[in-house]
Structure formats: structure tokens, C-alpha cells
């Protein structure tokens, strides 16, 4: 190929990518701020399109010239959604080996491509990665990206010889900088810094919400609308809320120090005055309180809910320790086998019989009869249950964790109520 021909192809490819970006903007105008901040960089080393952490979008001229602007627009939107979903920071948060970014890339790709397919975006002759391509990994469309990733990794660990890496979207999805990526301080195309990216993402989210108000929520992908709402109108993180409620209850109990005369004060030696001596009390600090955890095992509770409940039991044990006892009470309409945890490892061996009706009141009554009396009771339930009028004598706090929003109104007003929301 002559130099003149190569230059012509290069320029045509650049114009085609720019045209594709305009087409993408016309489809989803609320992504305009992000789309036009993606700096375009030609690369002979990238196979298709890719984006780095600094939001520079690389393209292969040869590949681009084989695609229509309409198909390229879909691919540009694909790369933009990696930026929207923060796939790079999320992969770092998993603290996984850098080389496994190929599995994470696949997990992110199938979710993004499903959104684009649902929006009837054209791919031309290009075949993107879809859930059907990952059928051997047994991933499901309703799984989060993180769940898909770990499902793939588990399969890789069992069948390392079968795994073939898919196309790489660049360091935007995590891992080390790729060989074709330019320096962050490149004078022609400097990287967009993370704080600037946050500003752009905030603007995109605001544009999505504004578009939904004017055009209606049915005019855009639901996943994008939920993302914008979560970013700009965030709900309370129920895990943090539970942790905060539990810490608050612990502080109330542990903060109740008192003076006792059963052991001498450290300052007692200074109290001798001639033949007289004043007796000073010492400060008593209570040990971590006894905790009772009631797990709803009625027929309305799904296995997934039980898994969530057990993960919260683990968090409570980690926060409080087990020196003074953490008792687990399975309960449907009757109390099951009451079990005292001796270690965090014992959580996986808990026997949770049930499957009948629901009455958390009998579990709460049983907790009140434990010795020592638990200072804090935590109830994990869907909330379809009658409740007692008051706490058992000696119990100082109750935290109710509910998996059904409507149950918040029927749960006791004197309890701390946390809504356990479905993972996305």
C-alpha cells in the first residue's frame, strides 16, 4: 500500500468514527457530553475499538472501514457504557489478578450488549459477545456484572484449558495499560482525570433524568435511568444502614459504664491521709453484649434470601465477636433449633429448618428467655408476620431487617427498621 493510500484510508477512517459518534449522539442525546469527550486515537495495534482509563478511544482504520457508520455508532455506544458503568474502578475494587481482566471484560460486555440489543441497535455484520456465547459458564442475564465475573472465574479455575479470551476493550475495563495506549500526559490527547470524569458522568446522569421527564421513562433503557437515579438520587445503602444501626445499639450498651467497689481504683494509693483512707470505686466497662439473631425460615423465604441473611449474620459476628455469645434462632411459625455460634466458621453449618407459616413474635419471645438475656435482637425476615407489642424484659434494642418494602409500615415503630434491597 502506498503512503498516499494509507493516509487516505486513515483520514476516511477518522471521519467515519466521527460520523459514528454523531449517529450515536442522535440516538441517545443524553450521552452527548460523554461521547464528545471521548478523544479519538488511531491505532494499528487494536483489533476493533477500545478505550483507556483516560477516556481516549482507539480504533483500527482497517476495521472501521469495513463497518457502516450505523454499526460503528452502536460500537461507540458500547465503549461509552463501559465509562458510564465504571468498569475499571469496579474491577480494581474486586482486588483480582490483573490478568483476569479478560473475564471481567466479558462479564461487562454481555450486560452492555444486552442493553444495546434491547434498544434494537444495529451491529451490521459484526457479532458482539452475548449471553448465549457464555452458556457453558452458566451465567444468567439477571446476574450483576460481579456475579457473572466470579461465575466465569470459577469455571476457569476448574477448566483452565477451555477458556479463550474475548476481545479486549482496553484499560477502561481494568487491568494494566495496554501496549497501544498512549501516555496519560500525551500533549495531543491528554487523559481525562478521574475527577473530571466524575463531573462528566454527573452531567450525563442529569441529562438522562431531564430527558426522562420530558420524553417519558419509556423512551430510554431502564438500566440507564436506574443508573442516573442511583447516582444523583441515591438510596440509603442498606448494608451501611444495618452496620450503623448495629454500631449504634452496641455503643448504647457498651457506653453504660459504672463505678464499682469490687476492685480498687488505680488512684487508691493517693487517698491515704494520715490514719484515714478514702475508698475510691473503679470504673467498670461492660463486655460485648449477648446478641440474638432470628432468621425467618418460613415458606415465603427464598434460598437467595437465606444466603443474604447468613451473610449479615457473618457481619454481625465480625462486629461484635462471640465472647459473650451470638445465638441464632431459626423461626417460621414456631421456633426451630436454637444454636449458639462458637466461631464465624460455624455460620455455614447452621441448621435452618422451617418452611411453614410465619410468626417472628415466637422467636422474639424465645430470645427473651435466653440466659444471659440478649441486649440486642436482630430479626431477618420478609416482614409477613405478626409482631409483639413490646420488647422482652431486659432486651434493650431490636433491629428488624426486611426484604419487602411494604413490610416497613407494619413492623414495630419501636424497632430500628432496615430494608434489604435486591442486589443489582
Same domain for 261 and 183: no
CATH code for the domain in which residue 332 is found? 3.40.50
List alpha helices for 255-374, DSSP H.
Answer: 303-320, 360-368
Distance of CA 170 to the CA centre of its chain: 23
- Write out pLDDT tens, residues 184-223: 999 999 999 998 999 999 999 999 999 999 988 888 999 9
Same domain for 116 and 18: yes
- Write out pLDDT tens, residues 301-344: 988 888 888 888 887 777 666 656 689 999 999 999 999 887 77
List alpha helices for 167-272, DSSP H.
Answer: 194-215, 222-232, 238-254
Residue 143 is predicted with a pLDDT of 87
How far apart are alpha carbons 118 and 132 in whole angstroms?
15
Same domain for 213 and 246: no
Same domain for 177 and 257: no
- Write out pLDDT tens, residues 67-88: 999 999 999 999 999 999 999 9
Same domain for 88 and 123: yes
Task: Judge whether 424 lies within some domain.
Answer: no
Same domain for 244 and 195: no
Residue 5 is predicted with a pLDDT of 65
Going by C-alpha positions, the residue among 296, 294, 295, 311 that lies closest to residue 391 is: 294
- Write out pLDDT tens, residues 104-144: 999 999 999 999 999 999 999 999 999 999 999 999 888 88
Same domain for 259 and 163: no
> Which residues are paired to 380 by β-bridges?
295, 401
- Write out pLDDT tens, residues 286-296: 556 788 999 99
- Write out pLDDT tens, residues 223-274: 999 888 878 865 545 456 566 666 665 555 544 444 454 555 555 565 555 5
Same domain for 218 and 78: yes
Phi, psi of 130 (to 5 degrees): -130, 170
Task: Judge whether 380 lies within some domain.
Answer: yes
Secondary structure class of 418 (helix, strand, coil): strand
End-of-domain residue from the set 186, 204, 232? 232
Amino acid at each position: 500500500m502506498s503512503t498516499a493510500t494509507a493516509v487516505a484510508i486513515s483520514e476516511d477512517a477518522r471521519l467515519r468514527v466521527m460520523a459514528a459518534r454523531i449517529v450515536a449522539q442522535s440516538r441517545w442525546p443524553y450521552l452527548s457530553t460523554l461521547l464528545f469527550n471521548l478523544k479519538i486515537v488511531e491505532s494499528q495495534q487494536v483489533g476493533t475499538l477500545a478505550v483507556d482509563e483516560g477516556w481516549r478511544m482507539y480504533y483500527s482504520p482497517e476495521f472501521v472501514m469495513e463497518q457502516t457508520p450505523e454499526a460503528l455508532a452502536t460500537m461507540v455506544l458500547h465503549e461509552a457504557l463501559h465509562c458510564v458503568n465504571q468498569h475499571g474502578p469496579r474491577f480494581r475494587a474486586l482486588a483480582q489478578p490483573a490478568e483476569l481482566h479478560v473475564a471481567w471484560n466479558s462479564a461487562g460486555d454481555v450486560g452492555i450488549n444486552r442493553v444495546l440489543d434491547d434498544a434494537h441497535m444495529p451491529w451490521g455484520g459484526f457479532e458482539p459477545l452475548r449471553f448465549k456465547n457464555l452458556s457453558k459458564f452458566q451465567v444468567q442475564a439477571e446476574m450483576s456484572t460481579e456475579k457473572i465475573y466470579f461465575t466465569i472465574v470459577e469455571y476457569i479455575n476448574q477448566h483452565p484449558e477451555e477458556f479463550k479470551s474475548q476481545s479486549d476493550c482496553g484499560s477502561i475495563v481494568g487491568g494494566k495499560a495496554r501496549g497501544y495506549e498512549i501516555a496519560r500526559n500525551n500533549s495531543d490527547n491528554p487523559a481525562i482525570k478521574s475527577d473530571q470524569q466524575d463531573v462528566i458522568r454527573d452531567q450525563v446522569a442529569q441529562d438522562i433524568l431531564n430527558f426522562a421527564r420530558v420524553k417519558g421513562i419509556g423512551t430510554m433503557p431502564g438500566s440507564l435511568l436506574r443508573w442516573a437515579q442511583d447516582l444523583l438520587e441515591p438510596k440509603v445503602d442498606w448494608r451501611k444502614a444495618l452496620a450503623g444501626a448495629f454500631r449504634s445499639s452496641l455503643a448504647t450498651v457498651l457506653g453504660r459504664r459504672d463505678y464499682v467497689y469490687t476492685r480498687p481504683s488505680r488512684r487508691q494509693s493517693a487517698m491515704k491521709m494520715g490514719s484515714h483512707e478514702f475508698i475510691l470505686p473503679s470504673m467498670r466497662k461492660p463486655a460485648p453484649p449477648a446478641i440474638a439473631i432470628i432468621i425467618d425460615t418460613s415458606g415465603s423465604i427464598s434460598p437467595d434470601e437465606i444466603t443474604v441473611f447468613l451473610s449479615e449474620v457473618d457481619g454481625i459476628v465480625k462486629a461484635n465477636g462471640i465472647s459473650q455469645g451470638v445465638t441464632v434462632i431459626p423461626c417460621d411459625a414456631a421456633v426451630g433449633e436454637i444454636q449458639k455460634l462458637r466461631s464465624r466458621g460455624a455460620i455455614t453449618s447452621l441448621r435452618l429448618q422451617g418452611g411453614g407459616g410465619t410468626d417472628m413474635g415466637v422467636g422474639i419471645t424465645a430470645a427473651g428467655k435466653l440466659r444471659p438475656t440478649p441486649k440486642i435482637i436482630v430479626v431477618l425476615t420478609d416482614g409477613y408476620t405478626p409482631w409483639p407489642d413490646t420488647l422482652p424484659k431486659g432486651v434493650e434494642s431490636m433491629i428488624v431487617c426486611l426484604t419487602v418494602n411494604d413490610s416497613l409500615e407494619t413492623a414495630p415503630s419501636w424497632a430500628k427498621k432496615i430494608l434489604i434491597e435486591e442486589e443489582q
